[in-house]
Amino acid sequence: MRRAALFLALALTFIARPALATENVTDFVLNNGMQVVVIEDHRAPLAVHMVWYRAGSADERPGASGAAHFLEHMMFRGTETRAPGEFSERVAANGGNDNAFTSYDYTAYFQRVAADRLGLMMEMEADRMANLLLRPELVETERGVILEERNQRVENEPGSLFREQTSAAQFLNHPYGAPIIGWRHEIEALSREDLNAYYTRHYAPNNAILIVAGDVTPDEVRRLAETHYGPIPANPAVTERARPQEPPQRAPRRVTMEDARVAQPYVTRSWLAPERDPGDQRQAAALVLLSELLGGGQTSVLTTALQYDNPVAVFTSAFYGATSLDRTRFGVVVVPAQGVGLAEAEAALDAEIARFLETGVDAEALERIKFGLKASRIYQQDNVQSVAQRYGRALTSGLALEDIAAWSGILDSITGEEIMAVARDVLVPERSVTGWLRAPEADKTANTEVMQ
């Protein structure tokens, strides 16, 4: 058992008077292996209670995509002793709100309540960790809800369908290639046994992280956690996660999707990229800064080149998923201006990235970005739930508290040379997926240009 107060000091080097953002964090481990993190913020009489499982959609059995998310829905449909819907009903009857979310690497459940209601939240959350009852008729009703969720989030949004396609093209072998919500035909086929198998295998205290943030003390949290979560036995079947890994990508891949509902065509390109690893976060930090430099705001490289100097685009951006258990993606988006074809937009993107790889990092821009990242950490202190989520995402992505503590300092210490080195390493054609999304019949000339 370990107990350490962790203070993250963010010294602002850019201006005369340094500001400090402090996070008052305590951690310990219960006897059954459940990790506990307490983040104190006594400004409002509020507690955010979260349980994060180190299990997400990438931990599903092949052919059972959507099981993690389906199970997340069923966790609100009753236990051996609690009626369907009773969980949320009691949270609401205590003036609180609750919800849950599923991602590739984690599934998390949370409640926002008055701090003196924490014990009840733990009692109910511990109950559904160990005693879930999957009622067959409710599995069927919930399947309808989930298919409508998929309709709303994906089938009705050509941009979401397109993301599914480009993501599947990027990951040939790793389960990140399947959507978190699941492929439609597999959601339709998931059985109660599939859900139960996932639950039995992954939902256990030694595979969970309890995060309590807000107007609480570590002593109180420890006492309540030992009372409510302590009695649940560890599951010896929980093992280190080992998913099928991606083979080296040796050829550029292209996806062109047409959908009549597309009003605004665009082009994306993404590359396989390294993620934050325990004790090894410098490359990922350099990629965070690279994404800011390329597409992080009005003064970024792509925005300046493609929206100001040679205005071929109405919107440009860069994205990078730094916090991830396995290999992740770095990407850029260009939304061309009216009358500009996707081929022309892609050529302008190519030219600008090539120019950036030649000229290197603008030192002033890098300083601005580093200062902005420090400030965003200060602004984030205002929302204790988002601080808690940052910890939950990192801890379920294989990182340790030490890595979280070190992250700001690493970001601040990255040099322009390190950014250029990782840029040259990652932004290579053979590891890329280029995607075009457009309406049918649009851009025929552009199409012939690229097929030459």
Partner 1 sequence: MKWLAPLALAVFAALPARAEIEIEEVTSPGGITAWLVEDHNIPFTALELRFQGGTSLDAPGKEGAVRLMAALLEEGAGERDAQAFAAATETIAADFDYDARNDAVSVSARFLTETRDEAVELLRASLMEPRFDEDAIARVRSQALSAIRSDLNDPGAIASREFARLAFGDHPYGRASDGTIESVGALTRDDLVAAHADALARDRVFVAAAGDITAEELGGLLDELLGGLPETGGARPGDVAVALPGGISVVEFATPQSVAVFGHEGLPRDDEDFFAAFVLNQILGGGGFESRLMQEVREKRGLTYGVYSYLAPKDHAALYMGRVASANDRIAEAIEVIRGEWARIARDGVTEAELEAARTYLTGAYPLRFDGNGPIARILVGMQMDGLPITYPQTRNDQLAAITLEDVNRVAAELLKPERLHFVVAGQPEGLETTPGQ
72 is annotated as an active-site residue: yes
Beta-bridge partners for 109: 51, 100
Q: What are the CA-CA distances from residue 82 to residues 21, 125, 192 (Å)? A: 42, 11, 19
Nearer to partner 1, 18 or 429 (CB): 18
Rank residues 153 and 424 by Cβ distance to partner 1 and give the closer one: 153
In whole angstroms, the minimum distance from the beta carbon of 404 to partner 1 comes to: 19
DSSP one-letter string for 171-199: -SSSGGGS-TT--HHHHHH--HHHHHHHH
Closest approach of partner 1 to the CB of residue 52, in Å: 21
Q: Cβ of residue 410: shortest distance to partner 1, in angstroms?
A: 19
Which is nearer to partner 1, 84 or 331 (by Cβ)? 84
Least distance (Å) between residue 144 CB and partner 1: 3
Q: How many CB atoms lie within 10 A of CB 176?
A: 25
Name the active-site residue from 23, 60, 72, 186. 72
Q: Pick between residue 157 and residue 425 the one whose CB is nearest to partner 1.
A: 157
Could you tell me the strand order of the sheet in which 97-102 lies? 24-29, 35-40, 208-214, 46-53, 107-114, 97-102
Q: CB–CB of 170/253 below 8 Å?
A: yes
3-class secondary-structure state, position 302: helix
Closest contact distance (angstroms) between CB of 78 and partner 1 is 11
By C-beta, is 340 or 404 nearer to partner 1? 340
CB 20 within 8 A of CB 189: no
Secondary structure letter of residue 442 according to DSSP:
T
Nearest to 328 by CA among 180, 167, 436, 178: 167
Could you count the other beta carbons within 10 Å of the beta carbon of residue 156? 11
**Residues annotated catalytic, as ranges:** 72
